[in-house]
Structure 1
Amino acid sequence: MTFELFVALRYLLTRRKQAFISIISLISVAGVALGVATLIVVFGIMNGLNADLKMRILGVSPHIMVLSMRQTINDYEDVVKRLKAMDGVTAAVPFIYSEVMISGLDGVKGAVLRGVRPESLAQVLSLDKGAEGAGAEETRDAFAKLKGNGLPGIMVGWELAKTLGAKPGQRLYLLGQWSGGTGVDTGSFRPSVRIFELEGTFRTGLYDYDSSVAYIDLEQAARLLGYPPDRVTGIEVRVSDVYNADRMARRINDMLGPSFYTRDWMDMNMNLFGTLKLEKAGMLLVLLLIVLLAAFSIITTLVLLVMEKSRDIAVLMALGARRNSIGRIFMYQGALIGFIGTTVGLAAGVTLALLLKRYQFVHLPEGVYTSDTIPVLLGWVDMTVVAVAPLVFCFMATLYPARKAAGMDPSEMLRGR
């Protein structure tokens, strides 16, 4: 142990006559600990919400959507085969997309219609992760009935079903724009109405999705909209590395040529995730101010200690202590306060976050958020930032008191001036 660290520990631990300074030191430690613990818990919750939202979005949205500049894809089976042959592609499923009006017992509502192949739906829709309510197995069984034995089947989001007043087994009327078989790119549209039987509902936790999306069989969607058998709106693609979807989308563009274009899940949800990042940055700034406030109290503590220990400083200088050694004594003391506060805050924050993750004793209003409990995810990068930032603040807070102590004149201090 160095001489400077030994003296710093003595000043920090022995406080028989400086009770007021001791209280300020404890307040400084508590302030740092509170700020660090709050940062750990808040970052854990925000990371958990972000991860939960990504999981739900990826559960109901394609990783990459392949579309045509001509609005529809002709001879799509050939395109599907070429996509499936690409390295890194795990699934490629055609779909028909359109905006329709759905009529139920309690009213009419606009909806996003997706025509899919029920047998291949599980390749692009993670029902075991995204579906709630009736349960994943029951929801998959309901999707399998979309072809229907009598009337064609339809699946709608549970919020959309509530709006329409529809229950499984009831009839729903779909109004779409039929092209008369001449192709959707000619502009010759006229209304088309077909009757469907509600097979069931699904719930993903994403309100916009649950309140506006409906699924029907791909062939039924083609009949409703007047599509030829070999024509679809686009192709949903799933890849093995979801965070490499943008690069994979560029590879698909290069392979298919200029008549096609792609959109990946990050691009389609850019505004949402950008808002989450902005909120996280704002929260970091606000909470770091708590730590900065604690750092100012460290300055107060050390300045008062320098004034209290002026004679001791003079004696140490008279005994041969150098000015930079005197400065390091108070730098070590402030750094110790920051280290203790950071350590206590990390321990308290991680403990509270793990308890919240395990026991879920805080519940969220149902239907407001994507989950009814608070998801928690601790990231090593965030924890490192939270641990390092307070230490830097506390060290910077020691510079002025240390310089003041090192610049004192020992002869003047011994005279009592």
Structure 2
Amino acid sequence: MKFELYVALRYLFALRRNSFISIISAFAVCGVAIGVAALIVVLGVMNGFSNDLRDKILGVNAHMIVTAYGGKLENYHHIIDKARKVPGVTGVTPFIYSEVMLSSHGSVKGAVLRGVDADSATGVLSLPGDIISGSMNSLKEKSVIPEIILGTQLAKRLGLVIGDTVNLLSPTGRKSAAGFTPKITVFKVGGIFRTGMYEYDASLVYISNLAAQELMGFNRDFVSGLEIRVDDVYNVNKIGADLKTELEGYPVSIRNWQQMNANLFAALKLEKSAMFIILAMIVLVGSFSIITTLVMLVMQKTRDIAVLMSMGAKSRSIKKIFMLQGTLIGLIGTTAGYLIGIPVALLLKKYQFIKLPSNVYPVDYLPVQMDTTDLVLIGVAAMLLCFLATLYPARQAAKLQPAQALRYE
């Protein structure tokens, strides 16, 4: 063991003899530990919230959307064949989008209509896994009354259960000499889904593409666009560029999930950075306590420092002793913070004992996801602040003159 580390450890364990200095050092350890634990839990929640929100958005919406400039995509089967050839594309499905009105039992509610192809949508959307009652196969069945799948909150609002009928009004249903006139069609509830996002559960309905084409007055070869799923959600820019090259000559627009939700995820990223800075202030408070501890220790150990320097210890060695001691206090606090923060985050992730109102937040529980990079960054930031706190006291200790310190001994 090196001389400087040996003396630093002796001084550290000798702090208990001086109750006042030991109390200050205990506060320093606690400050660092609380700051590190808070950073671990809060950043874990921010990561979980962002990833959970991303997964829910990418479950209801595809990773990429291809739409026509005129609003209607014609001869879409040829475009589907070309899109499936692009490397990285794992699924393609056509969709029809519109806004409609639903009425049942005297209640009326506006909704977003999504026409889907039940066969190809399974590999692109999360709808089959979100259905809690009924089945997506109901959209495949041909019956006198077409079937509809709607969200839990919307079904609750209209008082609907499986097997009930609901009137659906489309503002652009029939084309006449005077233009498009509204069309009302009766649908039977064939499924109820729950995504966990109130906005989707309260306003989204699904019907088959054939029923949507008839309702909207589309020809059978017209859809609103194509939804595309890829194997890597973070590689959508490159896949989008390849897809654009493949579809060159077609009057289509290609957008990915990052472009469509740029403001939302930018805000979440900014909020995460702000929370890191704010909570790092707790660690900074702990590092100030380290400065106080070391300054008082230098004053107490003036005679010992002078004796060591008289025996040949260099100023550099004296400086290193106090830097090591402050760093050790920071290391103990950081380790304690990890031992507190990680178990709390894991318990919060497993039991989800903090519930959120689903009509206020996009999710109804507090998600947690710890990231290795964040854990390392927290430890590095905490240790860096603690190390910087040792520089001033250590420099002052190294400036002591043995003759002046021992004059009155």
Q: Do both proteins adopt the same fold according to a TM-score greater than 0.5, normalized to the shorter chain?
A: yes
User: In structure 2, how many angstroms separate the alpha carbons of the residues matched to 1:351 and 1:202?
Assistant: 34
User: In structure 2, how many angstroms separate the alpha carbons of the residues matched to 1:212 and 1:16?
Assistant: 64
Deviations 1:264-309 (A, max 9, x none): 1122222221222122111111110000000000000001111111
- Worse-superposed segment, 218-227 or 192-201: 192-201
Matched, 1:150 2:144: yes
Instruction: Please say if residues 196 and 358 of structure 2, whose CA atoms lie closer than 8 Å, have aligned partners that are also in contact.
Output: no
Aligned residues: percent identity? 47
Letter in 2 for 1:144: S
Matched, 1:246 2:237: yes
Deviations 1:171-192 (A, max 9, x none): 222222336569xxx9942222
Matched, 1:168 2:162: yes
Instruction: Please say if residues 331 and 398 of structure 1, whose CA atoms lie closer than 8 Å, have aligned partners that are also in contact.
Output: yes
User: In structure 1, how many angstroms separate the alpha carbons of the residues matched to 2:360 and 2:172?
Assistant: 37
SS in 1 for 2:122: helix
Matched, 1:295 2:287: yes
Aligned counterpart, 1:202: 193
User: In structure 2, how many angstroms separate the alpha carbons of the residues matched to 1:206 and 1:143?
Assistant: 23
Matched, 1:78 2:78: yes
Matched, 1:159 2:123: no
Alpha-carbon distance, 1:128 to partner: 5.6
SS in 1 for 2:86: coil
- Worse-superposed segment, 273-282 or 58-67: 273-282
- Worse-superposed segment, 286-295 or 372-381: 372-381
> 1:25-40 residue pairs with structure 2 within 5 A?
25-40=25-40
Aligned counterpart, 1:90: 90
Instruction: Please say if residues 33 and 338 of structure 2, whose CA atoms lie closer than 8 Å, have aligned partners that are also in contact.
Output: yes
Aligned counterpart, 1:45: 45
User: In structure 2, how many angstroms separate the alpha carbons of the residues matched to 1:375 and 1:364?
Assistant: 10
Instruction: Please say if residues 86 and 239 of structure 2, whose CA atoms lie closer than 8 Å, have aligned partners that are also in contact.
Output: no
- Worse-superposed segment, 225-234 or 314-323: 314-323
> 1:218-229 residue pairs with structure 2 within 5 A?
218-229=209-220
Alpha-carbon distance, 1:231 to partner: 0.9
Deviations 1:132-190 (A, max 9, x none): 6x2xxx44x245346452211111111122222333222222222336569xxx99422
Aligned positions, number? 408
Instruction: Please say if residues 146 and 155 of structure 1, whose CA atoms lie closer than 8 Å, have aligned partners that are also in contact.
Output: no
User: In structure 1, how many angstroms separate the alpha carbons of the residues matched to 2:302 and 2:50?
Assistant: 53
Instruction: Please say if residues 302 and 401 of structure 1, whose CA atoms lie closer than 8 Å, have aligned partners that are also in contact.
Output: yes
Alpha-carbon distance, 1:373 to partner: 4.2
SS in 1 for 2:330: helix
User: In structure 1, how many angstroms separate the alpha carbons of the residues matched to 2:348 and 2:172?
Assistant: 53
Letter in 2 for 1:11: Y
Letter in 1 for 2:159: G
Alpha-carbon distance, 1:361 to partner: 4.0
Letter in 2 for 1:280: K
> 1:374-389 residue pairs with structure 2 within 5 A?
374-389=366-381
Matched, 1:344 2:343: no
Aligned counterpart, 1:110: 110
Aligned counterpart, 2:385: 393
- Worse-superposed segment, 85-94 or 333-342: 85-94
Aligned counterpart, 2:265: 273
Q: Which runs of 5+ in 1 are unaligned?
A: none
TM-score, normalised to structure 2's length? 0.93
TM-score, normalised to structure 1's length? 0.92
SS in 1 for 2:120: helix
Letter in 2 for 1:207: Y
SS in 1 for 2:270: helix
- CA-based RMSD of the aligned residues comes to 2.2
SS in 1 for 2:67: strand
- Worse-superposed segment, 277-286 or 369-378: 369-378
User: In structure 1, how many angstroms separate the alpha carbons of the residues matched to 2:178 and 2:173?
Assistant: 8
User: In structure 2, how many angstroms separate the alpha carbons of the residues matched to 1:197 and 1:207?
Assistant: 23
User: In structure 2, how many angstroms separate the alpha carbons of the residues matched to 1:206 and 1:241?
Assistant: 23
SS in 2 for 1:378: coil
> 1:56-67 residue pairs with structure 2 within 5 A?
56-67=56-67
User: In structure 2, how many angstroms separate the alpha carbons of the residues matched to 1:290 and 1:349?
Assistant: 14
Using a 3 Å threshold, how does the CA distance of structure 1 residues 187 and 299 change in structure 2: closer, same or farther?
Answer: farther
User: In structure 2, how many angstroms separate the alpha carbons of the residues matched to 1:16 and 1:74?
Assistant: 81
Alpha-carbon distance, 1:324 to partner: 1.4
Q: Which runs of 5+ in 2 are unaligned?
A: none
User: In structure 1, how many angstroms separate the alpha carbons of the residues matched to 2:106 and 2:159?
Assistant: 5
Instruction: Please say if residues 355 and 364 of structure 2, whose CA atoms lie closer than 8 Å, have aligned partners that are also in contact.
Output: yes
Instruction: Please say if residues 65 and 254 of structure 2, whose CA atoms lie closer than 8 Å, have aligned partners that are also in contact.
Output: yes
From 306, 310, 314, the counterpart of 1:318: 310
Instruction: Please say if residues 181 and 227 of structure 1, whose CA atoms lie closer than 8 Å, have aligned partners that are also in contact.
Output: no
